[in-house]
């Protein structure tokens, strides 16, 4: 098997050295270039044709998102992972990069312990490289299938209580395409669980709100759900839905242990939603690594809900939708460009 070719772009000599040492420890990976001058990065990357580029978000001459846009203009197939500092400005630029199509991002570890920092960076980078390898070598994915009404429901019309959306890798880009296509008169509340750390979800919510007719907000403790309001799970916190009084449902943010190694977790929120709502739920699983969302979709399905998964074409990583599909929990496999219309049809808009 040919080695997985990587180029790193970072103005810090110390961090370039750390990345070099980390990449040496990932099996069958080759560092083909370590670039410090971001002004020449796009040209060098094009000539090298690597499988992956790690791209520092904040650089003095040309920042990471500018380099990413140059790579897009050159129509390169190379995947890009943004390397971001844990700052508000870093979060803003990183979110924009993800919406522009970056594969994923890694927050620069800052433990104060070089050994621990290296171990964290190795784990983060290995996980993403494994996902890229799996996507490129996986079996032919299933083709989108037309909707067939669940036999248990027959011809009975379903009134849904809420729209639940779960996503991970590639999610910001998918959400930036889906949410603005939903109408302002959406008759149900929307809850979105995107795997992201603290600080990054507030920026994503703001970007989606700017582009949408719907109101998009980051989750806050005690926030009430209402039709046409999109609540994005807060990074680093689980989002639990609880009934409040006779008819209200509110948000509770918790520090309960991660599930599927993530917090917020899709399964956690879906599970609480099934308990909080009397009506069936409409669930959507978009692009992402891993299996988070599968157990939640099983509960949604068991309670007469309806499950949509994003079709493989257009997924950054087909892992989460594929897991739901393999568990035979998907009612429909829908291309992203048709997802908003499919949701509106099911909600009878």
DSSP state string for 23-37: HHTSTTEEEEEEE--
Tokens at 2, concatenated: 């040919």
Number of C-beta neighbours around residue 302 at 10 A: 10
Asked if residues 80 and 169 have their Cβ atoms less than 8 Å apart, the reply is no
Quote the tokens at residue 251: 């948000």
Helix, strand, or coil here: 325?
A: helix
CA dist 238 and 231 (Å) reads 13
Kind of pairing, strands 215-218 and 190-194? unpaired
- The vertex-52 CA angle with 259 and 236, nearest 5°, equals 25
The residue with tokens 């950054």 is 316
Query: Which one is catalytic: 10, 38, 84, 168?
Result: 168
Alpha-helical segments (H) within the chain: 13-24, 41-48, 64-73, 88-99, 114-137, 171-178, 200-211, 266-276, 294-302, 319-326, 336-346
Active site residue 292: yes
Active-site annotation holder among 292, 301, 306, 331: 292
Region of residue 348 (left: phi > 0; alpha: psi -120 to 50; beta: else): left
Q: Which DSSP string corresponds to 118-147?
A: HHHHHHHHHHHHHHHHHHHHSPPPPPP---
The alpha-carbon radius of gyration of the chain (Å, integer) is 20
Given the residues 84, 96, 104, 195, the one annotated as active site: 195
Q: Burial of 24 by CB count in 10 Å (0-12 exposed, 13-18 middle, 19+ buried)? A: exposed
- Residues serving a catalytic function are 168, 195, 292
């Amino acid at each position: 098997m040919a080695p997985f070719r990587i180029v790193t772009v970072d103005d810090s000599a110390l961090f370039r050295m750390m990345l070099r040492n980390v990449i040496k420890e990932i099996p069958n990976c080759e560092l083909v270039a370590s670039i410090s001058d971001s002004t020449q990065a796009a040209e060098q990357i094009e000539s090298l044709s690597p499988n992956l580029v790690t791209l520092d978000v904040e650089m003095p001459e040309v920042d990471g998102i500018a380099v990413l846009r140059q790579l897009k203009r050159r129509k390169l197939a190379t995947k890009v992972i943004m390397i971001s500092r844990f700052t508000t400005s870093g979060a803003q630029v990183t979110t924009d990069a993800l919406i522009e199509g970056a594969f994923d991002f890694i927050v620069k570890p800052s433990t104060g312990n070089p050994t621990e920092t290296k171990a964290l960076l190795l784990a983060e980078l290995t996980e993403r490289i494994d996902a890229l390898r799996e996507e490129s070598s996986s079996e032919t994915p299933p083709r989108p299938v037309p909707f067939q009404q669940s036999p248990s429901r027959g011809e009975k019309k379903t009134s849904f209580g809420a729209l639940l959306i779960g996503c991970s890798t590639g999610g910001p880009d998918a959400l930036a395409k889906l949410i603005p296509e939903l109408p302002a008169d959406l008759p149900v509340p929307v809850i979105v669980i995107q795997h992201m750390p603290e600080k990054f979800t507030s920026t994503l919510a703001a970007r989606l709100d700017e582009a949408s007719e719907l109101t998009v907000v980051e989750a806050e403790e005690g926030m009430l759900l209402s039709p046409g309001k999109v609540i994005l799970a807060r990074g680093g916190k689980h989002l639990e839905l609880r009934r409040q009084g006779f008819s209200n449902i509110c948000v509770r943010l918790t520090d309960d242990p991660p599930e599927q190694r993530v917090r917020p977790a899709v399964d956690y929120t879906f599970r609480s939603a099934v308990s909080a709502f009397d009506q069936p739920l409409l669930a959507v699983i978009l692009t992402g690594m891993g299996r988070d969302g599968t157990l939640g979709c099983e509960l949604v399905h068991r309670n007469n809900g309806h499950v949509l998964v994003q079709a493989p074409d257009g997924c950054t990583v087909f892992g989460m939708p594929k897991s739901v599909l393999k568990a035979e929990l998907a009612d429909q496999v829908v291309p992203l460009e048709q997802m908003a219309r499919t949701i509106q049809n099911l909600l009878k808009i």
